[in-house]
């Protein structure tokens, strides 16, 4: 039989590190092939490459009879491959229900409506999820989420099923059910190949074929029996450790020395500890005592309440009911003394990933106020004790998980605490690293007398604890020494004992039936499928609708900003302050000032005392303009001698200065034309010309008529672009972008599908703002509504596409948001004709303006509102505007990567 | 002593985190350099290159003389337009101004009949329309008076010598470049501090901090300090290198005094950022909140349009805004050379607002810092 995967010299690098050294490998078809090995050795990389999620760099990789380097082949085979990435439910959508999630994937693979509902029914029945069809994926337990992931992967009957650590963090009962399900599936479809990476060595026993990996290389391949025979060991775990190069292997098995039973002081005590979130009870009356120096284990699946309990014990979360004490003292939020005695390692090893190993250690030492002189020595000691010598100057973000875990522990013990609270410190880490880690724990417990409270979902780790508590759904099922618990359920292993306790608690679950998967769906090979684009549009809309905060902002935000700007930005300058230094104080000077005092534009401030005061007034901004009338002004006027009035205008805001200047000139002309001042029979010279100013479109020259249509254009550029950019980068950040890489959906379908809901939101914004213009601002529409509507639609297509282009450059949501805001606000307010006509711009400003869609929509908005225009007059602008969408779409296609690098 | 050391080391961490995110670094550099230069090139505040069409139905020496008086840089070279095209050209926004000189204009002026010369103004061009109309009026009046003076010579009895203080040529770049820096301070101040809090919460490192002997006050203070240092340096560099050296904008007052003000204002802006971060649960929510807060603060602060022109109610609201005080003292120090004696009140007002928001943020901090 032709191998399903054939790799030759396949190599993959991240920045400077080799994630996968040149690998040559054939994987036979029709088997369950398991990838085992430490974390960060290239298992996920290899699976990602096989699934087509990652781009092949060097070497060749044939999957299902073709090269994965060829985009055509990838498109051809992706409907035959299913990929479940690492991290439970990473490719699922937390806001969507179970049914909607499966439906989304079914649409991507081109199933029709009836076919979809049939398959969803079958898959839900097969996985026992029928009762939870309408529950959001985010509210499922780990085991259910993993089953849902499997449903989504199986919805298109793949020939090659790729599961990257599918059972990590799931309780033993669910894990057992999961493998039963896979086995039944394979019984129905023996031709299906399953590739699995796993962290549980005991699971590897049941696979047909194994690939042992270390440090980016394949150590050995073969059936479990072959590997065990080859190394002369009787477990896969043993075989794996034996296969490792001499330098890495620590062959002796870990034996936990018994406790010296002398110490019976209670370190941690919990009594009826309860925590509720709304109507959900995360921890339900949990009680236990932990003695000093004891290793106490908390065992259970993800989401069973382990983390919440631990957070209450650290004082992070207040308990809803019950008490917890640390060395006899109640644990209160904010108590500083107890914090010096506790070291905490949170789930997912939260470290400052932007700092190096040494910087992390140093920072924590400083925060615990270790004496400055001892910090260097302590850091050095920890580096040696935890074997971090080779990683000291690496950023924490670039560390393999196992190293990160050791660093996290090092950071937690930097202040030599009495109690260590470790929340799943070993999840996702390989057996060797786990052993190493446990050696450190045992050393701390037995030699330093540190009390260790550790949670885990690995049963062999639970077996090493002095005592364990088995937890499920917020309750402790049983507490005791591992041996006692096994005896109590007459079980061979702790795992079995736990399963037995779980079954007792939950009642026997009916054995689900395997889905009867039949014919393959017709996969649309066309370059563009409306159905797939629509699947994305539908999903995005559902997510948006379920996030009332985002939706509320999206809808009310524009209205709020429109209100603020519409009223706030006006260019009708009035209430200008002026102050006078009248050195003449004659009839004429008062008449002159009367022109200003009578003006509605000016407000007079107290008179100026002297030249110094005049300077001060301008400096402090208490007068926008100062007028100085020279002595003898009236006398000279009468005699017809030339006199000059001196005015100083505050130039710190040029527009205001220009306007004041204009007002002054007008008042001055009016004064000259006033016959009363030319008392001595000298008639005012008659005007030689009448300049008639006609303000078109806006007779009373009130800025609201220009500003409101401009706001419409501005707001439609801003929020839709930002929402769009966020929507795409969010997928990158959360990891669901992988669905774009491994399903038949194309980049164009993805982009357009995601754009549709935001165009709809933007058009709703348009409707709201249009009504606000009419009824709140009283700006009537004089021109064609249909021209405005068409323009708005073409415009929001362009602005959302603009946000999409920006999203291609950014990796994090925050950068997307910030980038989009800056790239939008500036051209929108400055270069698009809102304040300065485009015809007057030059340089970068003119250039930027030309490539920003608002430049072309503003004339449409202004034209229809104030100029009374229709399609005929605006055709040119509409035409240019309509070019943005295709050009920007093309640009995002070019910028977007079809695979992960 | 202990809190100080904690704050110091956490602030160092903030600076390192910032420098590690090259996208953020790039954006900060861009906003303080290229974006400032681009804003300086816009002429939104003054009359520059206004487009002008002329319908000359007279074709006389006087009409030529008037048209020739519309000069760059205020006006683009006037273009001749046919009477029938006026509506179309104004509708499409081709010209902001159109001058209509009637037939027999010169003859009527000479005869003292005071003929009407029409200036059509596109009133939708808010900034230019008003200023340009005034300019046009003055140019026409001057030209016609000069023309008439050859025949009769009435002396001008009084002259208005209006001078513009602090910015004699009314150069927009002087205004927009400095205001651009100021707008950046508000935007970046809020977002950097807010994002730093949300990021720690999303990555779970906030839990970590809170189980250490570190108080919310120290965490929040470190966020403010660390990011404030970064931004203060950026503002200083931008003002001295970009604004002063590259754009040749003279700075009248003391840059150190201004930097003290910036530091005080940053405390306020970052307190707002932290406060918003305690309301938002995710980064996108923070972003949307940010838009709704930062944009009005900036746009209505007097850095874009004069405060004097707002409706009275809005104006009195905005006069209490620290951003408005910031813009006001920035203009006072940088343009008008004001000293501490003129701006200390505003420093105090901003500091008080900063303390208030910082306290609000702290009250909410612990309650929401722990990811549930």
pLDDT in tens, A160-192: 999 988 877 677 788 888 888 888 888 888 888
Does the beta-carbon distance from A620 to B209 stay under 8 Å?
no
Could you tell me the CA-to-CA distances from B19 to A806, A819, B12, B23, B27 in Å, in that order?
Answer: 22, 17, 11, 9, 12
Kindly report each contact of residues A129-135 with a partner whose C-beta sits within 8 Å and lies 24 or more positions away, as own/partner.
A129/A98, A132/A98, A133/A97, A133/A98, A133/A99, A134/A97, A134/A98, A134/A99, A135/A97, A135/A98
Among candidates A558, A833, A794, A848, which has minimal Cα distance to A707? Answer: A833
pLDDT of residue A247: 58
Q: Are A365 and A375 in contact (CB under 8 A)?
A: yes
SS3 assignment, position A479: strand
pLDDT of residue A88: 67
Torsions phi, psi for A284 (to 5 deg):
-125, 100
Residues from chain A that touch B170, judged by Cβ atoms under 8 A, are 651, 654, 657-658
Cβ neighbourhood burial of B316 (10 Å; 0-12, 13-18, 19+): exposed
Considering chain B, what is the average pLDDT of its residues?
A: 86
pLDDT of residue A793: 96
Inform me whether the C-beta atom of residue A875 falls under 8 Å from chain B C-beta atoms. Answer: no
Question: Among A201-215, A353-367, B59-73, B156-170, whose mean pLDDT is lowest?
Answer: B156-170
Over the stretch A500-557, which tens digit does the pLDDT of each residue have?
888 888 765 555 555 555 555 455 556 788 889 999 999 999 999 988 777 888 888 8
**pTM of the entire structure?**
0.80
In which order are the strands placed within the sheet that holds A17-27? A17-27, A5-14, A58-63, A66-67
Over the stretch A222-258, which tens digit does the pLDDT of each residue have?
999 998 888 888 888 888 878 877 655 555 667 777 7
Residues contacting residue B140 through CB under 8 Å, at least 6 positions apart: A689, A691, B66, B117, B119
CA-based nearest residue in chain B for residue A868: B91
Query: Tokens 């896979």 correspond to what residue?
Result: A182
Decide the pairing of beta strands A58-63 and A66-67: antiparallel
pLDDT of residue B368: 67
Q: What are A20's strand-pairing partners?
A: A12
Q: What is the largest CA-CA distance in chain B?
A: 93
**In the predicted model, what is the mean pLDDT of residues A607-620?**
88
Residues from chain B that touch A554, judged by Cβ atoms under 8 A, are 288
What span, in angstroms and rounded, lies between the C-alpha atoms of B143 and B71? 13
Give ipTM to 2 decimals: 0.84
pLDDT of residue B153: 46
A 322-381 residues with CB < 8 A to B:
333-334, 336, 339-340, 342, 344, 346-348, 350-355, 359, 363-364, 366-369
pLDDT of residue A75: 86
Other Cβ atoms closer than 10 A to B219: 25
Question: Among A203-217, A427-441, B97-111, whose mean pLDDT is lowest?
Answer: A427-441
CA-based nearest residue in chain B for residue A559: B292
Does the beta-carbon distance from B336 to A697 stay under 8 Å?
no
Does the beta-carbon distance from B126 to A706 stay under 8 Å?
yes
Considering chain A, what is the average pLDDT of its residues?
A: 85
CA-based nearest residue in chain B for residue A277: B372
Cβ neighbourhood burial of B25 (10 Å; 0-12, 13-18, 19+): middle
Does the beta-carbon distance from B140 to A366 stay under 8 Å?
no
Over the stretch A622-664, which tens digit does the pLDDT of each residue have?
889 999 999 988 888 888 778 889 999 988 888 888 888 888 8
Does the beta-carbon distance from A651 to B370 stay under 8 Å?
no
Q: Which of A571, A822, A869 sits opposite B309 (nearest CB)?
A: A571
pLDDT of residue A537: 94
Q: Which domains does chain A have, with CATH numbers?
A: 5-87+159-243 (3.40.50.300), 266-506 (3.40.50.300), 530-566+701-895 (no CATH), 576-677 (3.40.1710.10)
What span, in angstroms and rounded, lies between the C-alpha atoms of A793 and A885? 11
- The answer on pLDDT for A817 being more than 90 is no
Q: Are B188 and B233 in contact (CB under 8 A)?
A: no
Does the beta-carbon distance from A840 to B49 stay under 8 Å?
yes
**What is the pLDDT confidence band of residue A205, given thresholds at 50, 70 and 90?**
confident
Q: Are A334 and A315 in contact (CB under 8 A)?
A: yes
- The answer on pLDDT for B372 being more than 50 is no
Mutate to test the interface with B, among A601, A691, A701, A863 (most CBs of B within 10 A): A691
Decide the pairing of beta strands A576-582 and B116-122: unpaired
Residues from chain A that touch B208, judged by Cβ atoms under 8 A, are 344, 346, 350
Residues from chain A that touch B91, judged by Cβ atoms under 8 A, are 863, 867, 869, 873
Q: Which of A654, A818, A825 sits opposite B191 (nearest CB)?
A: A818
Give the 3-state secondary structure percentages of chain A, helix then strand then coil, rounded to 5. Answer: 50, 20, 30
Q: ∠ at Cα A202 (A201, A203), nearest 5°?
A: 90
Residues from chain A that touch B338, judged by Cβ atoms under 8 A, are 619-620
Among candidates B108, B88, B110, B86, which has minimal Cα distance to B99? Answer: B86
- The answer on pLDDT for A121 being more than 70 is yes
Residues from chain B that touch A813, judged by Cβ atoms under 8 A, are 282-284, 287
**What is the pLDDT confidence band of residue A683, given thresholds at 50, 70 and 90?**
very low
Inform me whether the C-beta atom of residue B137 falls under 8 Å from chain A C-beta atoms. Answer: yes
Instruction: Quote the tokens at residue A182.
Output: 């896979």
Query: Tokens 């540190």 correspond to what residue?
Result: A450
In which order are the strands placed within the sheet that holds A81-84? A81-84, A160-164, A193-197, A32-36, A209-214, A217-222
Torsion sign over Cα A472, A473, A479, A484: negative
pLDDT of residue A156: 84
Torsions phi, psi for B21 (to 5 deg):
-95, 95
**In the predicted model, what is the mean pLDDT of residues A22-41?**
85
pLDDT of residue A535: 92
- The answer on pLDDT for A839 being more than 60 is yes
pLDDT of residue A775: 93
pLDDT of residue A678: 57
- The answer on pLDDT for A299 being more than 90 is no
Inform me whether the C-beta atom of residue B348 falls under 8 Å from chain A C-beta atoms. Answer: no
Torsions phi, psi for A110 (to 5 deg):
80, 20
Instruction: Quote the tokens at residue A588.
Output: 């004429």
CA-based nearest residue in chain B for residue A282: B372
Give the distance from residue B211's alpha carbon to the nearest chain A alpha carbon, in angstroms: 6
- The answer on pLDDT for A28 being more than 80 is yes
pLDDT of residue A555: 85
What span, in angstroms and rounded, lies between the C-alpha atoms of A282 and A303? 8
Does the beta-carbon distance from B115 to A661 stay under 8 Å?
no
Residues from chain B that touch A869, judged by Cβ atoms under 8 A, are 91
pLDDT of residue B156: 55
Cβ neighbourhood burial of A3 (10 Å; 0-12, 13-18, 19+): middle
Q: Which domains does chain B have, with CATH numbers?
A: 2-43+171-369 (no CATH), 52-149 (3.40.1710.10)
Does the beta-carbon distance from B207 to A685 stay under 8 Å?
no
């Amino acid at each position: 039989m032709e191998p399903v995967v054939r790799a030759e010299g396949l190599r993959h690098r991240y920045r400077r590190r080799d994630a996968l050294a040149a690998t040559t490998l054939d994987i036979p078809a029709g088997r369950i092939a398991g990838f085992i090995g430490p974390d960060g050795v290239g298992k996920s990389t290899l699976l990602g490459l096989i699934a087509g999620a990652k781009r092949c760099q060097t070497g060749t990789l044939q999957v299902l009879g073709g090269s994965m380097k060829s985009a055509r082949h990838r498109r051809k085979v992706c409907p035959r491959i299913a990929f479940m990435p690492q991290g439970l439910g990473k490719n699922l959508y937390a806001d969507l229900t179970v049914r909607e999630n499966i439906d989304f994937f079914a649409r991507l693979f081109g199933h029709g409506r009836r076919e979809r509902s049939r398959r969803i029914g079958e898959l839900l029945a097969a996985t026992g999820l029928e009762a939870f069809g309408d529950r959001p994926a985010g509210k499922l337990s780990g085991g259910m989420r993993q089953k849902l992931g499997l449903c989504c992967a199986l919805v298109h009957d793949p020939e090659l099923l790729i599961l990257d650590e599918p059972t990590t963090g799931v309780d033993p009962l669910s894990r057992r059910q999961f493998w039963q399900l896979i086995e039944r599936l394979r019984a129905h479809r023996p031709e299906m190949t399953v590739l699995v990476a796993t962290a549980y060595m005991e699971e590897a026993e049941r696979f047909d074929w194994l690939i042992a990996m270390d440090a980016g290389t394949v150590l050995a391949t073969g059936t479990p029996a072959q590997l065990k025979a080859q190394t002369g060991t009787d477990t896969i775990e043993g075989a794996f450790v034996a296969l490792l190069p001499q330098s890495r292997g620590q062959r002796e098995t870990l034996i936990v020395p018994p406790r010296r039973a002398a110490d019976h002081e209670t370190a941690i005590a919990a009594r009826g500890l309860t925590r509720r979130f709304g109507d959900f009870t995360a921890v339900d009356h949990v009680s236990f005592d932990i003695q000093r120096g004891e290793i106490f284990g908390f065992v259970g699946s993800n989401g069973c309440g382990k983390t919440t309990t631990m957070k209450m014990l650290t004082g992070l979360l207040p308990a809803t009911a019950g008490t917890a004490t640390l060395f006899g003292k109640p644990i209160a939020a904010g108590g500083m003394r107890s914090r010096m005695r506790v070291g905490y390692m949170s789930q997912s090893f939260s470290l400052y990933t932007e700092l190096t190993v040494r910087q992390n250690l140093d920072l924590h030492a400083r925060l615990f106020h270790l004496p400055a002189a001892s910090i260097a020595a302590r850091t050095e000691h920890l580096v040696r004790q935890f074997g971090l010598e080779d990683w000291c100057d690496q950023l924490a973000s670039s560390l393999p998980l196992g190293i990160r875990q050791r660093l996290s522990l090092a950071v937690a013990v930097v202040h030599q605490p009495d109690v260590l609270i470790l929340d799943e410190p070993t999840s996702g880490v390989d057996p060797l690293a786990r052993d190493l880690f446990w050696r450190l724990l045992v050393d701390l417990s037995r030699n330093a007398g540190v009390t260790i409270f550790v949670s885990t979902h690995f049963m062999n780790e639970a077996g090493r604890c002095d005592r364990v508590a088995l937890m499920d759904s917020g309750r402790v099922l049983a507490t005791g020494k591992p041996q006692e618990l096994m005896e109590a359920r007459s079980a061979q292993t702790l795992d079995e004992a736990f399963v037995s306790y779980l079954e007792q608690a939950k009642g026997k679950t009916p054995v689900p039936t395997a889905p009867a998967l039949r014919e393959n769906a017709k996969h649309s090979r066309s370059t563009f499928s409306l159905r797939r684009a629509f699947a994305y549009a539908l999903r995005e809309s559902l997510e948006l609708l379920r996030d009332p905060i985002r939706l509320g902002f999206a809808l009310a935000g524009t209205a709020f900003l429109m209100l603020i700007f519409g009223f706030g930005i006006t260019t009708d300058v009035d209430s200008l302050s002026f102050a006078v230094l009248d050195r003449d104080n004659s009839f004429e000077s008062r008449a002159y000032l009367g022109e200003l005092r009578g003006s509605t534009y000016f407000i007079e401030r107290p008179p100026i005392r002297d030249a110094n005061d005049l300077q001060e007034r301008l400096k402090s901004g208490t007068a926008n303009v100062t007028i100085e009338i020279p002595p003898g002004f009236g006398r000279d006027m009468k005699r017809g001698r030339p006199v000059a009035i001196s005015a100083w205008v505050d130039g710190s805001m040029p527009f205001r200065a220009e306007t004041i200047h204009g007002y002054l000139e007008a008042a001055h002309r009016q004064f000259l034309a006033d016959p009363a001042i030319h008392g001595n029979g000298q008639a005012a010279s008659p005007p030689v010309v009448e300049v008639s100013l006609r303000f078109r479109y806006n007779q009373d020259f009130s800025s609201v008529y220009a500003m409101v249509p401009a706001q419409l254009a501005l707001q439609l550029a801003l929020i839709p672009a930002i929402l769009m950019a966020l929507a795409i980068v969010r997928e990158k950040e959360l990891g669901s972008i992988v669905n774009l890489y491994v399903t038949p959906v194309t980049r164009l379908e993805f982009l357009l599908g995601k754009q549709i809901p935001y165009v709809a939101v933007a058009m709703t914004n348009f409707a709201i703002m249009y009504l606000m213009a009419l009824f709140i601002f009283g700006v009537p529409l004089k021109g064609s509504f249909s021209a405005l509507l068409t323009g708005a639609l073409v415009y929001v297509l362009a602005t959302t596409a603009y946000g999409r282009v920006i999203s291609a450059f950014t990796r994090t949501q925050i950068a997307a948001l910030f980038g989009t805001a800056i790239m939008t606000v500036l051209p929108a307010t400055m270069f698009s004709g809102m304040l300065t006509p485009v015809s007057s711009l030059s340089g970068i400003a003119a250039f930027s303006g030309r490539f920003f869609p608002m430049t072309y929509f503003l004339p449409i908005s202004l034209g229809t509102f104030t100029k009374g225009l229709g399609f005929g007059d605006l055709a040119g602008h509409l035409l240019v505007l309509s070019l943005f969408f295709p050009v920007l779409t093309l640009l995002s296609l070019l910028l977007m990567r079809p695979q992960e690098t | 002593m202990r809190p100080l050391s904690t704050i110091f080391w956490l602030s160092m961490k903030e600076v390192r985190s910032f420098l590690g995110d090259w996208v953020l670094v790039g954006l900060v550099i861009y906003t303080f350099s290229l974006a400032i230069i681009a804003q300086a090139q816009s002429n939104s505040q003054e009359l520059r290159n206004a487009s002008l069409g002329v319908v000359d139905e007279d074709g006389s020496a006087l009409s030529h003389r008037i048209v020739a008086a519309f000069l760059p840089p205020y006006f683009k070279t006037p273009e001749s337009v046919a009477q029938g095209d006026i509506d179309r050209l104004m509708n499409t926004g081709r010209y902001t101004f159109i001058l209509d000189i009637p037939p027999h204009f010169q003859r009527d002026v000479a005869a003292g009949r005071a003929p009407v010369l029409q200036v059509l103004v596109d009133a939708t061009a808010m900034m230019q329309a008003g200023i340009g109309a005034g300019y046009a009026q003055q140019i026409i009046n001057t030209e016609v008076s000069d023309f008439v003076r050859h025949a009769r010579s009435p002396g001008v009895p009084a002259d208005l010598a209006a001078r513009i203080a602090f910015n004699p040529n009314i150069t927009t770049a002087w205004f927009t470049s400095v205001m651009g820096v100021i707008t950046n301070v508000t935007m970046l101040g809020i977002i950097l501090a807010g994002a730093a809090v949300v990021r720690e919460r999303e990555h779970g490192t906030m839990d970590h901090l809170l189980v250490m002997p570190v108080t919310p006050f120290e965490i929040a203070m470190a966020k403010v300090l660390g990011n404030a240092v970064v931004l203060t340096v950026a503002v200083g560099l931008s003002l001295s290198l970009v604004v002063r050296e590259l754009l040749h904008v003279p700075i009248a007052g003391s840059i150190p005094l201004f930097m003290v003000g910036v530091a005080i204002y940053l405390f306020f802006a970052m307190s707002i950022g932290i406060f918003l971060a305690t309301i938002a649960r995710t980064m996108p929510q923070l972003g949307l909140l940010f838009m709704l807060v930062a944009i009005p603060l900036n746009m209505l602060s007097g850095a874009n349009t004069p405060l004097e022109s707002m409706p009275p109610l809005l104006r009195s609201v905005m006069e209490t805004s620290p951003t408005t005080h910031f813009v006001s003292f920035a203009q006072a120090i940088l343009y008008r050379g004001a000293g501490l004696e003129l701006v200390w009140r505003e420093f105090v007002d901003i500091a008080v607002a900063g303390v208030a928001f910082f306290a609000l943020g702290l009250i909410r901090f612990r309650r929401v810092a722990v990811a549930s």
